Amino acid sequence: MEQRSIDVIPDDERHGSPRSQFTLWFGANMQITAVVDGALAVVFGADALWAIIGLLIGNLAGGAVMALHSAQGPRLGLPQMISSRAQFGVYGAVVPLVLVVILYLGFAATGTVLAGQAVNQILGIAAAPVGIVVFGVLTAVVAVLGYRWIHVLGRVSTVVGIVGFTYLAFRLLSANGLGTLIGLKPFDGATFLLAVSLGAGWQLTFGPYVADYSRYLPRATEERTTFHATLWGSVLGSQWSMTFGALIAAVPASGFLDHQVGFLGDLAGGGLVAIAIYLVIVVGKLTVNCLNAYGGFMCLLTAVTSTTRSARVSRAGRIAFIGGFLLVSVLIALLASADFLGNFKNFVLALLMVFTPWSAINLVDYYLISRERVDIPALYDPDGRYGRWNRVALVTYAIGIVVQVPFMAQTLYTGPIADALGGADVSWIVGLVVTAGIYYPLARRTARPPADMIYPAGALTG
């Protein structure tokens, strides 16, 4: 079981290479929820070809933001969200932390619904709660063991995902020629922007925990290497899955929307091959669900320890945090599995309102204001350099959320500007640009970054 949590990883415990970032994020994105995300772009009106192009643009744009967070890991040796204390203050960072935990609970729950269906298919049982509970237990075991095991799972998921999804794509295109699936509808700006938003939103949701999985890399690891390994692993894995989903959704009367897991089993040809595909689904979902549980644990611990000044947690505490997180996510999965597809679309787009302003503030501060200089001991001290609350960051964060509302296009609410754009949702772009534009000049006048990077005693070996 991993010993570290939100404390700094000392140099003598660093290990691995950026290649592990590629396999982790590729494997985490070669999974059925990404397939559903790609299918949504077609389901809601886009031609498969334009949906694929829009998803690629969104994945690249959101992936670049996400990978910039990942590049912080080797230098800081910290989980992602505890570094937010440098922008929001030790207590102030709890605000985005609470929102992040709530949203990751939703992400874990929606993924557990699909994974539970695959487990039930493997076991040959019809009782939905069984598969959901079994999958929750599997997630708990790997998440409790921690960092090394999650990376091992990422490598396994990469291999089985490539084999499984290549086979499924071959089966799909053998039964339906590519020319019959693309170019069926003219270009439509609103649905194209929806596809871009779905791709970008998918990537941006990894931002608050992506550095959790690069923080053990040697401190001398080049930022650009970590950036590119994370970027291309995540973009290629997600784009592969989403492209497959867009093509599936383009098949007339495919039945994919009625039973996503069962559809992939039938596409595989049934029998033992279908069982193998269900295992691919479970492994892929297990990888990303462990990220949600492990990242959720880090966020919960960061929030709780803001007042205790603690940087460590016992094994029993670790199990309790992760177990509690997963228990709640399983309960949500059991209670909220109806109308999964429509709810998932709204959920993904709603995530952008919270994640984009946080990303803008964190990246602007780290790369442009502090210039990669952080007083790490002060992150654990409410009376230290970063204080309890940073009003500039908190007010900017609130503005960054509110300013997106007129640009939202969702089932429950469509903003006036989004309506004027034909239902195109560009709120995430507005959130990034406006938040960065407000925060940068204000933070330049108020921030007090250290002259050099400050590590705690004993963290460095050379």
Average pLDDT along the chain: 88
User: Is pLDDT of 179 > 90?
Assistant: no
**What is the C-alpha to C-alpha distance for residues 136 and 141, in angstroms, rounded to an integer?**
9
**Mean of pLDDT values over 228-241:** 97
Retrieve residue 130's tokens.
Answer: 């069984």
- The whole-angstrom distance between residue 190's C-alpha and the CA centroid of its chain comes to 24
- Four-residue CA torsion sign, 443, 207, 220, 76: positive
Q: Which domain holds residue 178?
A: 11-341
| Digit-coded pLDDT (tens) for 291-312 | 999 988 888 888 888 777 777 7
Please check the confidence at residue 182 and state whether its pLDDT lies above 70: yes
Q: Is the pLDDT of residue 348 over 60?
A: no
Residue 105 lies in a domain: yes
CA distances from 118 to 238, 331, 365 (A): 20, 18, 43
Structure tokens at 462: 């050379």
Comparing 243 with 313, the larger pLDDT belongs to 243
Question: Is residue 283 pLDDT above 60, yes or no?
Answer: yes
Q: How many domains does the chain have?
A: 1
Answer yes or no: is 318 within a domain: yes
- Specify the residue for token string 């004993």: 458
* pLDDT of residue 345 exceeding 60: no
Among residues 293, 427, 441, 300, the alpha carbon closest in space to that of 354 is found at: 427
Q: pLDDT band for position 62 (50/70/90)?
A: very high
The two three-digit tokens of residue 284, written as one number: 């892929």
| 340 has a pLDDT exceeding 70 | no
3-state secondary structure of 330: helix
> 């886009």: which residue's tokens?
46
Residue 258 domain-assigned (yes or no): yes
Q: Which amino acid is at 275?
A: I
Rounded to 10 degrees, what is the CA torsion of 449, 450, 455, 457? -130
For the record, the structure tokens of 160 come out as: 């089985």
Q: Residues 206-228: what's their mean pLDDT? A: 93
Structural domain contains residue 242: yes
For residues 130 and 123, the answer to whether their CB atoms sit within 8 Å is yes
Concatenate the DSSP letters of all residues of 260-311 into one string.
HHHHHHHHHTSHHHHHHHHHHHHHHHHHHHHHHHHHHHHHHHHHHTTTT---
Residue 417 resides in a domain: no
Residue 394 located in a structural domain:
no
CATH number at residue 256: 1.10.4160.10
Whole-prediction pTM: 0.91
In a domain, 253, yes or no: yes
In a domain, 429, yes or no: no
- Residues 16-38 have pLDDT tens digits of 999 999 999 999 999 998 998 89
**Residue 343: its pLDDT value, please?**
65
DSSP character for 366? Answer: I
